[in-house]
Structure 1
Amino acid sequence: MSRQRSSTDLLKFVIGGGINTAFTYGLYFGLQVVMPYQVAYALAFATGIVFSYWFNATIVFKTPVSWKGFFSFPLVYLVQYLLSAVLLSVFVERMGIPQSVAPLVVIIVTIPITFVLTRWFLRRT
């Protein structure tokens, strides 16, 4: 894969992540008005995984959408969450980065890792 293609894919990945974040936050905000916030969060989070799978498979990496891929794609989110939780702890407790800033640093560090993991995963399924 060429560097330019990889850079274009990364840009599309980041844009898709921004769209997904805005959409799921808006969905959560609307749902929590009519149902308990935890239920609203779970539905918005699950919807975000579905959108992320579809967007990354069809638009970013142009891979076929499949049931196998769909049902195993949440593993990407699990790995990303675990890595983010560890990094957040290290940044706050060991490096003294303020709690309000540390999640932003985590996002910056994990975007390339999540990109590579998502690309690898989608090309395998």
Structure 2
Amino acid sequence: MTVRAQLVRFALVGAVNTGTYYGCYLLLLHLLPYIAAHVLAFVLSMTGSFFLNSYFTYRTRPTWRKFLLFPLTNAANFVITTGGVYLLVDLAGFSDRYAPLVAAAAAIPITFVVSRTVMLRPDAPPRKRAEPVARDSGREAGTGGTQCPRHARGPSSRRMDRTSHRGVL
């Protein structure tokens, strides 16, 4: 999928996310101060946004790692919108009902870039566990001790510890 297609899908998810956020914000505004309503609505809509972006925008499998990193994609968005809401309501006199919509517009490009980076970053491959090195206790070559496979030719061959022959492992 091209970056342009992802951007279009991101914008569609953003529209749904903004609607979800704004609906939650308006409902919570009846129960909480506007900043608390903003924060809680933001967290709820961000969770939905993660799954929509995983499945629809980037077509990637959601993982716990990505879910835990996803809030970082919205950190800039959160700072810009929270600061914007405060500035618009308390300093510029905007209505607390419309200020979040105005503030959110400035954060969209930054959120897309960071979101794309997190969601398309491959998960770290599982780490290989180092095999414990067992010391050979007098076993002869060819009997399953810790000989180097190149030198395990029979009872008369010299035994080698795995750690002493770097080219084998």
Which range, TM-score by smaller chain?
A: 0.5 to 0.7
Judging changes above 3 Å, is the alpha-carbon distance between structure 1 residues 43 and 112 closer, same or farther for their aligned structure 2 residues?
A: closer
Measure, in 1, the Cα distance between the counterparts of 2:22 and 2:111.
Answer: 20
Does structure 1 residue 19 correspond to structure 2 residue 6?
no
Matches within 5 A, 1:98-109: 107=105
Q: 1:59 aligns to what? A: 56
Report the 3-state secondary structure (helix = DSSP H, G, I; strand = E; otherwise coil) of the residue aligned with 2:59. coil
Give CA-to-partner distance per residue, 1:29-81, whole Å, 9 cap, x none. Answer: 11222x21343322211011101111111110011111111111111111344
Detail structure 1 runs of 4+ shifted over 2 Å in the superposition.
37-42, 79-82, 103-108, 110-114
TM-score by length of 2: 0.52
Measure, in 1, the Cα distance between the counterparts of 2:37 and 2:25.
Answer: 5
Q: 1:94 aligns to what? A: none
Give CA-to-partner distance per residue, 1:70-125, whole Å, 9 cap, x none. Answer: 1111111113445x48xx8xxxxxxxxx9x8xx969836x5344222211111124
Q: 1:40 aligns to what? A: 37
- The number of aligned residues is 106
For structure 1, which runs of at least 5 residues remain unmatched after alignment?
Answer: 89-97
CA contact (8 A) 2:69 2:118 kept: no
Q: What CA RMSD, in Å, does the superposition of the two structures yield over aligned residues?
A: 2.9
Larger relative contact order (C-alpha < 8 A, sep ≥ 6)? 1
Measure, in 1, the Cα distance between the counterparts of 2:75 and 2:69.
Answer: 11
Does structure 1 residue 122 correspond to structure 2 residue 119?
yes
Measure, in 2, the Cα distance between the counterparts of 1:26 and 1:18.
Answer: 12
Greater gyration radius = 2
CA contact (8 A) 2:17 2:48 kept: yes
Report the 3-state secondary structure (helix = DSSP H, G, I; strand = E; otherwise coil) of the residue aligned with 1:63. coil
